[in-house]
Structure 1
Amino acid sequence: MLVEGFLHSQGDTRVITRNTGTENEAILIGERSDSPVRVLVAAHGSSTGFAALNAGTADIWASSRPVKSSELSQMAGRADLTELASEHVIAIDGLAILVHPSNPVNQLSIDTLARIFAGQISNWAELGGRNEPINLYARDDRSGTWDTFKSLVLRKQFTLDATAQRYESNDQLSDDVSLDPAGIGFAGLASVRNSKVLAISDGAAPALKPNQLTVASEDYPLARRLFMYTPGERTTPLAKAFIEFALGQEGQEIVSRSGFVSQTPIAVKPELDGKAPSTFKRLTGNYQRLTVNFRFAEGRTRLDNKAQRDLARVMSFLDSHNQSADDVLLIGFADAQSNELRAQMISELRALSVRKALSTKGLKNVAYTGYGHYMPVGTVGGDSGQQRNGRVEVWVRTR
């Protein structure tokens, strides 16, 4: 969809799609007056995408997981795939946990989910469901969806049970789960189809279902970024133009139509969990929350690559809604620290970092505050807690 939209934006009056004879591959041909542009799109899993980029047989590597350290090393002589010029977040996806529509179970913790897929919990009656064996549905080993599930759910503590049925296709997996009253599986948010989606909790944080706010803000514990990687300064002009198209407004509209979650901010009034402090409810009473969180790379205050592009997206939202710095409130959060004061200081520093970054874009003197380690969205402590709980939310005044 993105390639077709891009070719049309380049002036191609018609785009023809042809099969290559290989499953999950297509050639898109854009007709133009001088010479046609041919684009091969091959979808065989994130690891094979990197292999093609590394071998020089692909200009762009699409991946549903971040680049691995081993892949970074292989490309080190040509490009740093962690740099802004190489790493591009195209969309946000929610890893949906799927069951049959008649299943009475509505939510699970990540730990319980891991034990289910490891075969340690094997009957729905153990979870408050019907007395019947649990049937497992999982993506195959070449899939970025599987990499994400393994990383976020199984981690290094659990191994997928050998009875699980494996799939190359998200859609086919979801269709089969929707026909099996005892089934449970996982797929990308765009592939929910006729299955029921469960709410998922991480640690003491509230259970959340994947939706526009929880996924776009990455509060949902099984949210993931969808990437495209290019070889930095070695990227071809046409590939660079395609990336900019995909990141721009027209490309992000295509992302929304595809069923994934666009990075274009919208303002929503969230339903705050009962654990939210009363002071927080009063503070945000006259505000709506944007569907974007600023998150950080190494250290506690350096914005990551997505956040650097999100600065421009926030500015664009404010311009289109005739709102100014006076209408914006930044609220920083931290993971648990050695004491409450330290967490408060870190959360304020994070909010101040975003404030300074927005100032360089022309938005001066934005109000900011910190909420320390309160209202976590992930397990406290460890890499996951630091990455997910350490965030800055953006709130805009209700008009």
Structure 2
Amino acid sequence: MAWKRAAVFAALLFFGAARPSAAQDVTLTSPDGAVEITGMLLGFDGEFYRVDTQYGELTVDGSGVLCEGPGCPSLVDFVAELAFSGSSAMAEVLLPSLIEGFALRNGLQTRRTAMQNARFAYALHRPDTEAKVAHFDFHVTNTDEGFADLLANEADVVMALREIRKPEQTRAYEAAMGDMTDARRSRVLALDAIVPIVSPGNPVREIATPDLARVFAGEIDNWQDLGGPDAPIELHLPHAGSGLSQAVEDKLLTPAKLVVAATAQRHPRSSAVSRAVTTDPFAIGMTSFAETGNARALRLTGDCGFSLEASRRTIKTEDYPLTAPMFLYLPARRLPKIAREFLLYTRSPAAQIVIRRAGFVDQSPERIGINAQGDRLANAIASAGEEVSLAELQTLIETVGSMTRLSTSFRFETGSTRPDAQSRANILQLAREIETGLYDAKRLLFVGFSDGEGPADGNRRIALKRAEAVRGAVLQAAELPEVLQVEIGVEAFGEALPMACDDSAWGRQVNRRVEVWMR
């Protein structure tokens, strides 16, 4: 029978649904009784049942079956459920702000309920009938615990301050959650950065990145070695399981082949790091840009004289090297309609305003005029020599002098031509903007730059290939009309416009980039 074949096919789809509070026995039966599926109900999204059966986890279209048993949900008063777990920095401010914004935009009201064991919940309901339409549950932990909850089927969405690690990725794939590095499984919600902070009374204003790594490894333990007073350095970091702390290890210590000193004091929240450092004139901590508080952030410097400071613009462009995107990870499950609408909202221009007002760095593109880039041009002139001539710098200015740089930039994973996580999000964002006609009748120029390692001609060729690859990825991601309304070109200037010193791995990675210029 055609219906029977369709029902069996639907049952074999391995898409998930929203997780119920407790799995219970159900029996799903076709109207003619020809097909019967019995098992534990794992979820129902208002349209599809997700059932754990003797054949494995199956998903069945609810419109073609009758549900019997204590676990059967109400089809009339269905309430969508979505469970978040992970980063406290995201759970405490960012996600609640976005839920409030989403509710306001859709004419819904919210009710927040505090619970025990680091949990709270948001109920979304209609103001006219008080009918609850969604329940968002939050488990405020850290990135490690977020992935653990996901793998235990106790969360639908992970809030993470780092990328998923290989063991987690493997276990998720084995649990039929899909490839968690796929664009559909992970997304950058907002942008943040790791910043070194000191007490406002500390005389030290800047620190070389290699020295910063040695400080947190315990190799430099006196402020006198950094131009400060003769006093021991007290180290402060978030909890070892937090995404921010792990990002410090991945981005700062691991490239220098160092590990965190055992003497570092750990805190359950990165905001607690800021409070501890603020009151201790001999302390240094690593916290997020959004949670600097009353502490003072140090500039990052290099032996060549370049310095970089964390700001909304330098984080958005990734010119600041210790950027830390804030991720949402979702398994290959079918979520309720209102949950899908919320996740779609988080990428909207309205949501970017909410993100910015909440104190985080949004992903809306900004335009940076040539006059606002004096430091970059000064660095380029200071670095000019045999490899990069003054004539080449003049060509660069002639090319982009009448254009505006977009804050949308692209950088690459260490030792790879693959764009990093923030850049992969930028590819999708720029593709959507081209689709909507935001750049119609304009010219976009993808400009490649490199580090200074190796011959200048070879670096220029590599930079051009990267620019072409990024342009190709953007066009491939976009659904474009037959006649493109925007002119898109590529150019490369190799090592002509350095952002940081080439004497360290992080500096070279910052210099390897593709920028977007517009006229």
Return closer, same or farther for 1:239/1:68 CA change in 2, 3 Å cut-off. farther
CA deviation string 1:308-346 (max 9, x = no partner)? 322146538983xx76333x3321123456533222112
For 2:193, what is the secondary structure of its paired residue? strand
Structure with bigger RCO (C-alpha 8 Å, 6+ apart): 1
Q: Is the 8 A contact 1:118 1:159 kept in 2?
A: yes
Q: For the pair shown, which has the larger CA radius of gyration, 1 or 2?
A: 2
- The one of 164, 188, 205 equivalent to 1:89 is 188
Instruction: Read off the aligned partner of 1:73 and give its amino acid letter.
Output: T
Match of 1:3 in 2: 99
Is residue 441–residue 486 contact of structure 2 (8 Å, CA) maintained in 1? no
Q: Secondary structure at the match of 1:120?
A: coil
Once the two structures are TM-superposed, the CA of residue 305 in structure 1 deviates from its matched residue by 3.0
Q: How far is 1:387 from its partner?
A: 5.5
Counterparts in 2 of 1:284 and 1:160: CA distance versus 1, 3 Å:
same
**Are the aligned partners of 1:2 and 1:246 in contact in 2 as well (CA < 8 Å)?**
yes
SS at match of 1:62: strand
> In terms of mean alpha carbon deviation, does 199-208 or 117-126 score higher?
199-208
1:324 corresponds to which letter in structure 2? Answer: A
Distance 2:300 2:99 in 1: 34
Aligned-residue offset at 1:163: 2.7
CA distance in 2, matches of 1:387, 1:67: 21
AA aligned to 1:307 is: N
Aligned to 1:241: 341
Deviating more after overlay: 205-214 vs 136-145: 205-214
Change (3 A) 1:58 1:118: same
Q: 1:212 to 1:325 in 2, by over 3 A?
A: same
**TM-score (normalizing by structure 2):** 0.69
1:294 to 1:120, Cα distance in 2 relative to 1, 3 A: closer
Work out the CA distance in 1 between the residues paired with 2:200 and 2:504: 35
Q: 1:270 maps to what in 2?
A: 373
Residue aligning to 2:148? 51
> What's the TM-score once normalised by structure 1's chain length?
0.88
- State the partner residue of 1:333: 449
When the two chains are superposed, the root-mean-square deviation of aligned CA atoms in Å is 2.8
Partner of 1:290: 406
Partner of 1:15: 110
1:183–1:323 Cα change, 3 Å: farther
Q: Are positions 1:76 and 2:139 aligned together?
A: no
1:28 corresponds to: 122
| Pair 135,233 (structure 1): closer, same or farther in 2 beyond 3 Å | same
Q: Contact 1:88–1:229 at 8 Å: present in 2 too?
A: yes
Distance 2:507 2:221 in 1: 29
Tell me which of 283, 295, 300 is aligned to 2:417. 300
How far apart, in 2, do the equivalents of 1:139 and 1:385 lie?
A: 25
Which of 231, 246, 260 lines up with 1:160 in the alignment?
Answer: 260
Check whether the contact 1:344–1:372 (CA below 8 A) recurs between aligned residues. Answer: yes
What is the CA deviation profile of residues 164-187 of structure 1, one whole-angstrom value per residue up to 9, with x for unaligned ones? 221111222112211211111111
CA contact (8 A) 1:85 1:233 kept: no
Instruction: State the 1:20 CA deviation.
Output: 0.8
Contact 2:173 / 2:179 at 8 angstroms: preserved in 1? yes
Distance 1:229 1:105 in 2: 38
Distance in 1 separating the partners of 2:285 and 2:418: 37
Q: Quick one: distance in 2 between partners of 1:272 and 1:382?
A: 20
1:224 is aligned, of 314, 324, 330, to 324
Change (3 A) 1:314 1:31: closer
Aligned length: 392
Partners of 2:263 and 2:504 in 1: how far apart? 31
Answer with 204-213 or 188-197: which moved more: 204-213
Q: d(CA) in 1 for partners of 2:327 and 2:375?
A: 30
Q: What is the letter of the counterpart of residue 104 of structure 1? A: P
Cα shift at 1:258: 1.7
Counterpart AA for 2:182:
E
Q: Map 1:1-399 to 2 at 5 A.
A: 1-12=97-108, 14-23=109-118, 25-32=119-126, 33=129, 34-77=131-174, 78=176, 79-155=178-254, 157-201=257-301, 206-232=306-332, 234-268=334-368, 269-273=372-376, 274-277=378-381, 278-279=393-394, 280-296=396-412, 300=417, 305-312=424-431, 314-315=433-434, 319=438, 324-326=441-443, 328-335=444-451, 338-357=454-473, 361=480, 362-377=484-499, 380=502, 388-397=510-519
Q: Which runs of 5+ in 1 are unaligned?
A: none
Check 1:237–1:70 CA distance in 2 against 1; reply closer, same or farther (3 A cut).
farther
CA distance 1:121–1:337, change in 2 (3 Å): closer
Counterparts in 2 of 1:349 and 1:379: CA distance versus 1, 3 Å: same
User: After the TM superposition, which of the residue ranges 52-61 and 329-338 deviates more from structure 2?
Assistant: 329-338
Between the two proteins, what is the percent identity of the paired residues?
Answer: 28
CA apart distance, 1:3: 2.4
Aligned partners of 2:505, 2:212: CA distance in 1, in Å?
20
Q: Separation in 2 of the partners of 1:112 and 1:384?
A: 13
Residue 109 of structure 1 deviates from its aligned partner by 1.7
How far apart, CA to CA, are the structure 2 residues paired with 1:233 and 1:36?
A: 20
Distance in 2 of aligned mates of 1:95 and 1:149:
7
Q: Secondary structure at the match of 1:224?
A: coil
The offset of 1:148, in angstroms, is 0.7
Distance in 1 of aligned mates of 2:236 and 2:501: 26
C-alpha separation between the residues in 2 aligned to 1:385 and 1:240? 39
Q: Is the contact made by 1:265 and 1:313 (CA closer than 8 Å) also made in structure 2?
A: no
Q: For residues 49 and 150 of structure 1, do their structure 2 counterparts lie closer, same or farther at Cα, with a shift above 3 Å needed?
A: same
Contact persistence 1:64–1:145 (CA under 8 A): yes
- Sort the Cα spacing of 1:301 and 1:171 in 2 relative to 1 into closer, same or farther, 3 A: closer
Q: How much does 1:136 deviate? A: 1.4
The runs of 5 or more residues in structure 2 that have no matched partner are 1-96, 382-392
> CA contact under 8 A between 1:300 and 1:346: conserved in structure 2?
no
Greater shift in the superposed pair: 302-311 or 179-188:
302-311
- Shifted more, 333-342 versus 176-185: the winner is 333-342
